[in-house]
Amino acid sequence: MKRFLVIHPMPDPPGVRGWRDELARLARRAHDAGLHPIETFYTAERGLAYTLYEAPDAGSIRKLHERVGLAAPHDVLSAERVYPELLAEPRRDR
């Protein structure tokens, strides 16, 4: 599976609890569809969420948002997760 960073709008600010509920609902539906949301950051100030997914392709993430009834993502970008504090350590995945 490939990794994608998804930038998506959240509904009109329902507050932190409401956003957590929406993101949990999205995560459940993602797992049901065979997609894997790894981590999400969101900002109430801008009404955006940033989710790192493992998915076969960007289209499957766009379809998920459509099925769940959320607004289409602003962007779906190929991405990798980097841990800055580990960059100086030797790579163990080779």
Ranges of each domain in the chain: 2-86
pLDDT of residue 89: 64
pLDDT of residue 51: 92
Residue 2 has pLDDT above 90, yes or no: yes
pLDDT of residue 86: 64
pTM: 0.76
Residue 94 has pLDDT above 70, yes or no: no
pLDDT of residue 4: 96
Pick 2-86's CATH classification: 3.40.50.620, 3.20.10.10, 3.30.70.3090, 1.10.510.10.
3.30.70.3090
Closest CA to 61 of 45, 50, 49, 72: 72
Residue range 21-80, pLDDT digits in tens: 878 888 898 999 899 999 988 887 888 889 999 999 999 999 988 888 777 889 999 998
CA distance 56 to 67: 17
Q: Which two tokens stand for residue 80?
A: 């990798």
